[in-house]
Amino acid sequence: MDEKQDQRFMQAAIDQANIALENDDVPVGAVIVCENKIIAKGYNQRQQLNDPTAHAEIIALTAAAEHIGHWRLLNCTIYVTLEPCPMCAGALVLARIDRLVFGCDDPKTGACGSLYNIVQDNRLNHRLEITKGVLADDCSKMLQDFFSVKRERKDNGF
């Protein structure tokens, strides 16, 4: 993939993050691409579904598996606005996603290079190619603005 293509698909993930924001959830979005087409989308829905596992990546993985008709998502790339957490990183490995592209690092829970690197751990049976920092400033600003508002309102639900 080229840089423009990565930016185009990351913008689609940002669009998904905006839906999470509209639903008062942490603005993280994801899209899964196969053969240069978006086959699945997801955004954080933890608040909406009252489900701690309803991360953007998990929602998108489920939709992609349904679209393809198989749990192995070979030849697919996931674009996500924030570095995946350990749960999501593990799910990406198990789904056999080929490539992960993410916007901004997550120094608190990132499991794709920041705290851990689950998706490239040689002890596991599958590893992903990683491209990071695509539209990082846009992705980071969205999260910073969200949490700034939460702090101002003293909303400790996150």
User: What is the distance between the alpha carbons of residues 63 and 57, in angstroms, rounded to a whole number?
Assistant: 10
Kindly state the tokens that stand for 113. Answer: 């290079």
Cβ count within 10 A of residue 1: 14
- Provide CB contacts within 8 A for 32, sequence distance 6+: 38, 39, 40, 41, 60, 61, 63, 64, 73, 76, 77, 78, 79, 97
β partners of residue 117: 112
**Annotation marks residue 35 as catalytic:** no
Q: Which of 3, 22, 35, 57 does the annotation list as catalytic?
A: 57
Helices assigned H by DSSP within 1-135: 3-22, 46-49, 56-68, 86-95
User: What is the distance between the alpha carbons of residues 63 and 41, in angstroms, rounded to a whole number?
Assistant: 7
Burial class (CB in 10 A: 0-12, 13-18, 19+), 26: buried
What residues are annotated to the active site? 57
